[in-house]
Chain A
Amino acid sequence: MNYGMVFYILGWILRIESVLLLLPGVVGFIYREKAAWLFLLVAGLAFLLSFLLTWRKPKNTKVYGRDGFAVVALAWIVMSLVGALPFTLSGDIPFYLDAVFETVSGFTTTGASILPAVENLNKCCLFWRSFTHWVGGMGIFVFMLAVVPLLGGSTFNLMKAESPGPIIGKFVPKIKDSSLILYTIYMVITVSEFLLLWIFGMPVFEAICHTFGTVGTGGFGVKNSGYMEYSPILQNITTFFMIACGINFQFYFYLKDRKWREAVGMSEVKAYLGIILVSIILVTVNVRGLYGSLSETVRHAAFQIGTIITTTGYATTDFDLWPKFSQCILIILMMVGACAGSTGGGIKVSRIVILIKTIAKEIESIIHPRAVKKIQFDGVSVVHETVRNTSVFFGVYFMIFFLSLLIVSIDDFDFTTSFTAVAATLNNIGPGLAKVGPTQNFGFYSWHAKCVFIFDMLAGRLEIFPMLLLFAPSSWKRYT
């Protein structure tokens, strides 16, 4: 590992975080809360540390693929450790491990909480909790590459490690411009959702926090009751924006450039919307009778499907009470996840599409052993490495899944709870079923289970390999 460069980049990440920490500080001062000072204190500490780390730019600025992966994983850990400090210092979450769980859950846009009730928290802490979703949704490195005139040419490795999906592309030649475009699109979506929520009657503070939670596909709320109390129109707006943020941002880039045909032709987006539509129909049919009218049923079905497939994690109804068939659909959607290149988590629709095509190809090769067939995606043949990487991803994904399940089950809760708890964290969703259902929380788990969940959340957000790389001894080897 190029330690000089790793520390340098970590320094920059801390500097960005120290600036971000000022925002909850401002919110705290508006609400005249003492905890606001703590945010300033932590921001100051982070800035000081960052100042020391970036004091001197290392001579060797080369960031190889492995360094890129390692530094991204480390940065997310460091970010979470620092971001957790205000929660503990303010006393809102007395145990540091719980605070770290909450922050990781925020940055990774999971939305799983250890808090039984949130309404008595400081407003600035609530704001910070939701704001981490917004930052983590698009990614802090994407942000850094947009604003910091940083490194040499190999910064693409950083973006690759952080951006979700099997095929990472750029929109325009320069990473900086590409990142800027991403964040511009993100900003536009954020502001429009906030305005809509606000116009249709949500109080400003709640509108801001819920906007962060939606566009980052996170799921932290500011109400004990979640989304259940809000009016149908607010719920529908949120459904729309959740699903919109689960779409590959390449789609919006095409729209921006008026390339309608390319936008409509994106097979991943088509598959994603298709899955959503079919699921809504199935669930609506399955849960009919639970709610008063058809429109209410569809609204709840759409909201829950949207919240689960985009891995957001809000709930307008306690889907723990739904029939098993609908619950099973939700569990499957948890695994599928959103599109690559979106703010959502999970395995990603494009991976599923590639995997299904690989399976079809494999079957065909049994029938016609000499057949030559290239897997196509959006009219372009997928290179072998991507296919291999996708297959390996599935293998590793399920290995981690079951290993986590094994460790978590030491706590001796029922199978549904353990299974959906792991699924909800590894896919960055938030709520699961049974004891971790939408009206429950993760607070009752033992410390070692929480550690596993923290790892799962990070692994899920960074798509596993960067986190695994930290366990390979050779990636810690120093070279200059």
Chain B
Amino acid sequence: MKIIIVGCGKVGTTLAKQLCKEGHDITVIDKKASRVRALSDGYDVLALEGDGSSYSCLRDAGVETADALIAVTDSDEKNLLCCLIARKTGNVAAIARVRNPVYNSEIQFFRKGFGLSMVINPEQAAAMETARVFRFPSAISIDTFSKGRVELLTFRLNEGNILVDKSLTYIHQKLKTDVLVVIVRRGGKTIVPSGNFVLKAGDLVSIISGPGQAEVFFRKIGLETDRVKNVMIIGGGKVTHYLAKRLMADNIAVKIIEIDRKKCEELSEELPKAEIIHGNAIDEDLLLEEGIERVQGFSALTGIDEQNIMLGLFAKNKNPNVKLVTKITTVGFENVISSLDLGSIVNAKQITADYILQFVRSMQASVGSNMETLYNIKDTDAEAMEFHIREKSRCVGIPLQKMELKRNILIGKIFRNGKLFTPTGSDTLEVGDYVVLVALKKHRITNLDDILKK
């Protein structure tokens, strides 16, 4: 596909790199020559220096024939203008980043009125990710796909867990839950495990489950599943704003520590039920006084990564059972960060890029294919995807155990006649089914028949 990216900040750069790797024709536009040059030197993209919100610049970039335009400059208005121009000049899927909370309630209007395909608010997206972690304490990260029917949860297997040194077949038989281990990440390698695979302590395990199933699974393996009752948040920025609102809607008590008096007052107006503390959180005494040892959830959301990391480590140190979410703004250094005990990491930029990538991929996938959604599983070489079987194909009607699948492919869930179930070897795929499966990226599956050996 031909994709134009306006704005080469961190999100724009991340998107350009990844989409370029996936074989799209990328044109990037930025006002700063040094930024576009850095990109065009290192990657196979066409770089234009100019103002992406001007019609002539977008025309130079070929907006008339482009398939998608992604506007991720630092100005909301510019992003919207870019998308408007794109919509008026060609049949382009337009994606805008809009982060001003004022516009937040108007996203629906933007999408309908302006014809945008996607409007993303990074801070809100980050807040939603964070909220999910607090609502689901045992998992490290949760993703939903297939219109919320299927959840993908990732957690780290700690020493002493009953799953350690057990094979997957044993686990599935013993626990009798409708949950499937689909990906194991061990030492930087992504494995799509088969039945005789044995889990080890330290593995990052991803499972897929239907709604409500995951709680049962986590209770059975001895990881607590009840959601946290109170959360301490450091920093009163935009993410905090969205996060506190979301948590309080679920009756989770929120305590916010913010250094700026005026911000505190604003927060207190917007969130009357929240407890707002005015003070500098980089102060052990203050944190102890406010009960960091007793909180069930802790999230460091200040604007400075180093502070967030420090606060997160301190919270974990004082309170080993705390559910921790640390906000990181830097893109990159994933290996270093994941080696620290910082709980879940939220990175608004990364999340924005991931959401947009997911959108672009499913856009591409939906062209001439029966793929419904494609989901790139974070930090792994695997992806999950959903197919809707509309007509008879090579896969239909054969029991799964007789199907000759490529290696490292796992059929996770089948959704048939309103019911979701984990298939067994004797099940077959039928026309009308929705199928969720997990595969390594290298297979480049775009059609359901691609899962079969040639």
Contact = CB atoms under 8 A, between A and B. Distances in A.
Interface of A: 65, 153-157, 170, 172-177, 380, 383
Interface string B162-186: 0000000000000000000000000
Contact of B44 (A65, A175, A380): A175
A150 to B, nearest CB: 11
A174 B46 CA distance: 7
A153 B44 contact: yes
B25 A172 contact: yes
Closest 5 CB pairs of A and B: A153-B43, A173-B46, A173-B25, A153-B44, A175-B44
A172 to B, nearest CB: 6
B33 A173 contact: no
B40 A156 contact: yes
Nearest to A68: B41
B42 to A, nearest CB: 6
A27 to B, nearest CB: 36
A153 B21 contact: yes
A9 to B, nearest CB: 16
23 contacts: A153-B21, A153-B43, A153-B44, A154-B41, A154-B43, A156-B40, A156-B41, A156-B42, A156-B43, A156-B44, A170-B40, A170-B46, A172-B25, A172-B46, A173-B2, A173-B25, A173-B26, A173-B44, A173-B45, A174-B25, A175-B44, A177-B25, A380-B49
Nearest to B3: A173
Contacts of A175: 44
Nearest to B2: A173
Contacts of B37: 383
A170 B45 CA distance: 9
Q: Which of A153, A157, A170, A176 has the most CB of B within 10 A?
A: A153
Contacts of A177: 25
B73 interface: no
A157 B46 contact: no
Nearest to B37: A383
Nearest to A153: B43
Interface residues of B, number: 17
A175 B23 CA distance: 12
Interface string B1-27: 010000000000000010011000111
Interface of B: 2, 17, 20-21, 25-27, 33, 37, 40-46, 49
A286 to B, nearest CB: 45
Nearest to B49: A380
Nearest to B61: A173
Contacts of A383: 33, 37
A154 B42 contact: yes
B288 to A, nearest CB: 48
A156 B47 CA distance: 12
A453 to B, nearest CB: 33
Contacts of B42: 153-154, 156
A177 B24 CA distance: 12
B33 A157 contact: no
Given A153-B42, A153-B43, A175-B44, 8 more contacts: A154-B42, A156-B42, A172-B46, A173-B44, A173-B45, A173-B46, A177-B25, A383-B37
Contacts of B45: 173
Contacts of A153: 17, 20-21, 42-44
B41 A173 contact: no
A154 B49 CA distance: 20
Nearest to A157: B41
Nearest to B20: A153
A362 to B, nearest CB: 22
Contacts of A154: 41-43
A170 B40 CA distance: 10
Contacts of B49: 380
Contacts of A172: 25, 46
A153 B40 CA distance: 9
B51 to A, nearest CB: 13
A167 to B, nearest CB: 11
A177 B27 CA distance: 14
Nearest to A160: B41
Nearest to A384: B33
Nearest to B27: A173
Contacts of A156: 40-44
A175 B44 CA distance: 6
Contacts of A174: 25, 44
Contacts of B21: 153
B46 to A, nearest CB: 4
A168 to B, nearest CB: 10
A477 B44 CA distance: 27
